Amino acid sequence: MKNFYLDNDNLQQQGECALPLKPTANTDLILKTIMDHFAFHDAPVDVKEMAESMEFYLRTRKRLMGMAKKRIMKNARSGNGDEDSICTKCEVNEKIVQVFDMCSGHGLTGMLFAACNPPKATQNNRTLVVETHLVDVVEPLSHVVLRELIADVCPWIKDNVYFHACRLEELITTNDRSTDVSIECSNENDSDTAVVAGSCPIVIATHACGKLTDQVLHQAVDMNACAIAAMPCCYTGTDKGVSYGIRRALGVAWAADIRRTQFLDDNKYHVDYATIPLEITPLNRIIMAEERL
C-alpha cells in the first residue's frame, strides 16, 4: 500500500495513538480509520483492491442491508421470526444478517460489511448482528493479516467473520422459501462450516471470474438470499445462450449481464444496476438484485 496515505505526520500520529472505535462510530470514520491503519502497517492489499472494496460497499450497503431488515420485519409479521427460534447458533436476543462473500480472496469486501455494521439494538430490545462468511478455495495469508488489522479498530468483528475454504460447488444449501436457510461446505477441511438457519442471507461477489459469477448467482437463489450484489469480470464465453442480435448490438459483457438479469428476474428478484468509478476499474458494473416481497 505504498503512497496510499500521503499525510505522513498525521499517519504517524494515527498509527501510534489509534484506539479501538466505538460501535457508535459512523461509516465514514470507520472506513477512514481502517484505511489509515492499513497504510500505517503496510497491509498486504494494493490501492486498487482497497478502492474497489470500499466503493463496492458504499454503492451497495443501503439496498442490501435495507432488504435484510425488510426480511426480518416480514418474518416477524408472519410468525416465521419467532424470537425463541430465530436461530440455533446465537442467543435468542439476537437477529442475524449474514453476508456471504463468494470467491472472496482476502475477504476485505465482506469484512467491511461486518466492520461498518456493528451490533446494534433494535426494537423489542433485540440486537441486530451482521456476520460475514467468506467462501473461497483457500484461505490466503493476507486474509488473516487484514482481519487482525480491522479487528484492531473494529473489535466487534472478532466473533463475526468466518472463512470457509471450499469451492462453490461444494456448498450444500437448502432451497425452500417457506423454511429457514441452511448452508454448509462439504469440504472436511473446513473446520467451521455450519451456518445459521433462520438468518437473513445477503450474497456478494466482486470480480468472480467468468462463469464463477453465474455460479454465485445460482447459489444465491438456492440460499434464498434476500439481496444480491455481483460485480462480474472476465466476460469471455459468458454470453452463450443470448440471441445473436443482442450479442452483436451490445457486446459480450452486456449480453452476459442481460442473461443474468433475466435469470434473477425469473427467480422473483427485482434487478437493477449500479457502478463504482470507472477510474478504479473498467469492469465496474454491479448487478443488484432484491427479493420481491
pLDDT number for residue 147: 97
Distance (Å, whole) CA 161 – CA 115: 10
pLDDT in tens, 203-256: 999 999 999 999 999 999 998 999 999 999 999 889 988 999 999 999 999 999
Smallest CA-to-CA distance from 101 within 237, 238, 195 is with 195
Q: Are the CB atoms for 168 and 219 separated by under 8 Å?
A: yes
* 2 inside domain: no
Of the candidates 143, 182, 179, the residue with the CA atom closest to the CA atom of residue 53:
143
Q: What is the pLDDT of residues 192-207, one digit of tens each?
A: 444 455 678 999 999 9
- The CATH number for 235's domain is 3.40.50.150
Q: pLDDT at position 168, please?
A: 83
Distance of CA 145 to the CA centre of its chain: 19
In a domain, 102, yes or no: yes
In the chain, the percentage of residues whose pLDDT exceeds 70 is: 78
Tell me whether strands 94-102 and 200-209 are parallel, antiparallel or unpaired: parallel
Q: Which band of pLDDT confidence, cut at 50, 70 and 90, is reported for residue 177?
A: very low
- Range list of β-strands (E), the chain: 94-102, 120-121, 127-136, 161-165, 171-173, 183-185, 200-209, 227-233, 269-275, 285-291
Residue 20 lies in a domain: no
Grade residue 80 by pLDDT with cuts at 50, 70 and 90: low
Tens-digit pLDDT profile for residues 86-100: 444 444 446 789 999
Q: Is residue 83 part of a domain?
A: no
Identify whether 48 is part of a domain.
yes
- Asked if 86 contacts 198 with a C-beta cutoff of 8 angstroms, the reply is yes
The answer as to whether 9 is a domain residue is: no
| pTM assigned to the model | 0.85
Domain extent, residue 114, equals 27-74+93-184+196-291
Q: Is residue 6 part of a domain?
A: no
Decide if 87 is inside a domain.
no
Q: What is the mean pLDDT of residues 7-19?
A: 50
Please count the structural domains in the chain.
Answer: 1
